[in-house]
Amino acid sequence: MNRQADIPRLVRELRERTGLTQEKFAAKLGVTFPTINRWENSRAKPSPLAMQKIVELLRSMGDRGIDLLDELIGQDTL
C-alpha cells in the first residue's frame, strides 16, 4: 500500500481512544503539550523517536490499536 500517512488524525484518535487530554498524552510520550497540539493541527510532525513511542502505544492496545495504525498509516510504511 502506498498511502499518505494521516499523522494528525492518528495522534488525535489515539489520544481520544486512551481517554487522555493533550497534556496527559504529552507526558505519556515525553513531549510537551504544545507539541501534541502542533501534531494534531498539522503544524509539525512527530520525530522518529516519538513515532516509535506512538506505534508502541498503538500495538499495546491490541486489535483496536493495530486497526487504527493500519487504517491511517499502514503497517508497511513503518
pLDDT in tens, 11-66: 999 999 999 999 999 999 999 999 999 999 999 999 999 999 999 999 999 988 88
Q: What residues make up the domain containing 46?
A: 7-77
Domain with residue 73: its CATH number is 1.10.260.40
Residue pair 6/73 in contact (Cβ under 8 Å)? The answer is yes
* 8-39 core/surface letters (b: 16 or more CB in 10 A; e: else): bebbbbbbeeeebebeebbeebebeeebbebb
Read off the amino acid at residue 31: V
**Secondary structure of the chain: what % helix, strand, coil (to 5)?**
70, 0, 30
pTM of the model: 0.81
pLDDT of residue 16: 95
70 found inside a domain: yes
Question: What pLDDT sits at residue 10?
Answer: 93
Number of structural domains (the chain) is 1
Rounded to whole angstroms, how far apart are CA atoms 1 and 36? 27
- 12 vs 77, which has greater pLDDT? 12
